[in-house]
Amino acid sequence: MTQLRRALGLRTIVSTGAGMALATVTYISLIEAASYLTGNSCWIAILVAGFMAVMAGSCFCELNSMYPTAAGIKLYIEKAFNERAAIIIAGVYVLGQLSIIGAEIYILSQCLAQGFTTIPPLVWAAAFMAVLLFLNYRGIRIAGMTQDIIAYTMFIALVAVSIYGLARIDFRVPDPLTVGSMDGFIQAVAIGITCFIAFEWVVTISEEVLDVKMVPRGMMISLGVLTVVYALFGLAMTSVLDRETLRWVLDPGGLPIPHLLYGQKLLGTFGLYFMIIMAIMASLTSMNAGIMTSSRFIYAMARDWSLPRFLARLHPRYATPWAAMLVVTGYSTIVIAYAFLTHYILSMLFIIAAAECLMYGVMALCVLRLRKKEPDVERTFRIKGGPVVPVFVIVVYGIVAGFVLFGPVKPQDVIDQRICLFFLLALILLNTLYAYLVWPRLRAKYQKIAAARQPRRRRPPRDG
């Protein structure tokens, strides 16, 4: 039977953990977070969000050290509670997180339209999806190598353009420590969480890494690098661009291209095209990581009879879950269509943030519950401080989730917040119906097939 191949090292673990977060949509998150603060202090919100991500990431590290599998996220919940709850929560989480694809493609099309006006945005969208699907189809080595090249180039380029921007204003940042109201700060932190979207999805490639002990280390390195890079870039962008420009970017009639405006103000036409190239690379690394990790998760769930078995098919030569990749691509196409038709990009950011908060709280609960249920299972990584960190994650992310879904927002953001709430409720209903109506029949069917394939024992011959 064809299996996933172990071929990835620490370098690719770091680039994959940072992959989806290195997205063009993150630049909108930085500006949106800054809009809830009085001064140029979005970097503080990013640092706080990064610290919270490290706390949540430590929960994933402990759980992954117990069960290093592609279906880890679902398996943790199943072991701690039950399989039905795991299917519902994991389904809501994965479908919510893939919202980034729609926002990413839409923002990228707006960026490319500024420099290449003759090519329709939908052509760019189709081309990017086709290239990424091909790279992932051909094997984890090629997809991983592509991820490494783009991710590390992005890290270096973002740091360089941030320092250059701050140098242009002689590092004189107005009001760098002024935050404003606590409500606004919490909302800024909530939006800042989307800057670290899906870092935990690196656990889905646990069956393809050379040593599973490298996964916790790689996850923490990626979080540290992302925190520093985005805090620095957010500080530079909100300091170089004036507040009128930033406000226009977020207005319904504005264009979600703050990074292009930043590059153009610094370096003119060269800066515009430089940031367009950066946007292309950001979208490539984000969508590549999304396809690479989510397809493994779907493959593993199908392999465990939680989804239709055809989704567990691997290519006989490349050992890639091609069927799961096609499903991810199909769902992503629907999300992309929503983005192009409605332009409600902020609703997708709210959905991502809410789904993240939900999952992080659940993972912390799993850590506490499995410490009691399975104390003897080997843990190569264990959070220090007893229950302090998991309880912190549950409380803090619970508060942030409440602000995302029900907290005070700017008047123009109310519709996006409501879309987020109704979308998540619809996902919960859809996955609950699947878990109670479809999954039991599917499981019974596969159990029956497996039982029929078991060889029957021959009766011993009778004496005489």
pLDDT of 212 above 90: no
Name the one residue in this structure whose structure tokens are 């086709």: 130
What is the CA angle 280-203-23, rounded to 5?
20
Q: How confident is the model at residue 215 (pLDDT cuts 50, 70, 90)?
A: confident
Q: How confident is the model at residue 137 (pLDDT cuts 50, 70, 90)?
A: low
Report which of residues 311 and 437 the model is more confident about: 437
Highest mean pLDDT range out of 137-141, 227-231, 348-352? 227-231
Q: Which residues contact 399 (CB under 8 A, 6 or more apart)?
A: 186
Report which of residues 391 and 66 the model is more confident about: 391
Read out DSSP for 320-387?
A: --HHHHHHHHHHHHHHHHHHHHH--HHHHHHHHHHHHHHHHHHHHHHHHHHHHH-TTS--SS--SSTT
Read out DSSP for 240-272?
A: HS-HHHHHHHHSTTS-S-HHHHHHHHHHHHHHH
Does the residue 144 lie in any domain? yes
Q: How many CB atoms lie within 10 A of CB 462?
A: 5
What is the pLDDT averaged over residues 434-459?
Answer: 80
What is the pLDDT averaged over residues 211-240?
Answer: 88
Q: Is 134 exposed, middle or buried (0-12, 13-18, 19+ CB in 10 A)?
A: exposed
Report which of residues 411 and 132 the model is more confident about: 411
The domain that contains 352 carries what CATH number? Answer: 1.20.1740.10
pTM: 0.80
Report which of residues 298 and 248 the model is more confident about: 298
Rounded distance, CA 424 to CA 428, Å? 6
Does the residue 450 lie in any domain? no
pLDDT value of residue 2: 46
Report which of residues 352 and 455 the model is more confident about: 352
Domain range for 199 is 10-442
* Backbone phi, psi, residue 101, to 5°: -60, -45
**Average pLDDT score, the chain:** 82
* Backbone phi, psi, residue 178, to 5°: -85, 120
Task: Confirm if 214 and 10 have CB atoms less than 8 A apart.
Answer: yes
Give the max Cα distance, the chain: 102
Report which of residues 87 and 21 the model is more confident about: 87
What is the pLDDT averaged over residues 14-23?
Answer: 75
What is the pLDDT averaged over residues 67-81?
Answer: 83
Among 33-47, 225-239, 328-342, the least confident range = 328-342
pLDDT value of residue 8: 63
Q: How confident is the model at residue 460 (pLDDT cuts 50, 70, 90)?
A: low
Rounded distance, CA 136 to CA 299, Å? 14
pLDDT value of residue 318: 65
pLDDT of 464 above 50: no
Three-state secondary structure call for residue 163? helix
What is the pLDDT averaged over residues 416-433?
Answer: 93
CA 33 to chain centre: 18
pLDDT value of residue 362: 94
Q: Is 432 exposed, middle or buried (0-12, 13-18, 19+ CB in 10 A)?
A: middle
Does the residue 23 lie in any domain? yes
pLDDT > 90: percent of the chain? 22
Does the residue 458 lie in any domain? no
Q: Which residues contact 284 (CB under 8 A, 6 or more apart)?
A: 128, 132, 146, 150
Q: How confident is the model at residue 426 (pLDDT cuts 50, 70, 90)?
A: very high
Sign, Cα dihedral of 130, 136, 139, 145: positive
Any long-range contacts for 389-396 (C-beta under 8 Å, 24+ apart)? 389/55, 389/58, 389/59, 389/364, 390/59, 390/364, 390/365, 391/364, 392/55, 393/52, 393/55, 393/56, 393/59, 393/360, 393/361, 393/363, 393/364, 394/361, 394/364, 394/365, 396/52, 396/55
pLDDT value of residue 208: 65
Task: Confirm if 36 and 185 have CB atoms less than 8 A apart.
Answer: yes
Q: How many domains does the chain have?
A: 1
pLDDT value of residue 429: 96
pLDDT of 260 above 80: yes
* Distances in whole angstroms, Cα of residue 377 to Cα of each of 72, 85, 372: 15, 22, 11
Specify the length of the chain in residues: 464
Among 130-134, 136-140, 327-331, the least confident range = 136-140
Does the residue 448 lie in any domain? no
pLDDT value of residue 93: 87
Q: How confident is the model at residue 207 (pLDDT cuts 50, 70, 90)?
A: low
Does the residue 4 lie in any domain? no
Structure tokens at 97: 């997180």
Task: Confirm if 46 and 247 have CB atoms less than 8 A apart.
Answer: no
Does the residue 172 lie in any domain? yes
* Backbone phi, psi, residue 78, to 5°: -60, -45
What is the pLDDT averaged over residues 290-297?
Answer: 73
What is the pLDDT averaged over residues 199-209?
Answer: 71
Among 47-56, 215-224, 252-261, the least confident range = 252-261
Among 87-101, 133-147, 365-379, 391-405, the least confident range = 133-147
pLDDT of 254 above 70: no
Q: How confident is the model at residue 48 (pLDDT cuts 50, 70, 90)?
A: very high
pLDDT value of residue 1: 43
Q: How confident is the model at residue 142 (pLDDT cuts 50, 70, 90)?
A: low
pLDDT of 431 above 90: yes
Rounded distance, CA 369 to CA 384, Å? 16
Does the residue 55 lie in any domain? yes
pLDDT value of residue 459: 58
> What type of residue sits at position 82?
N
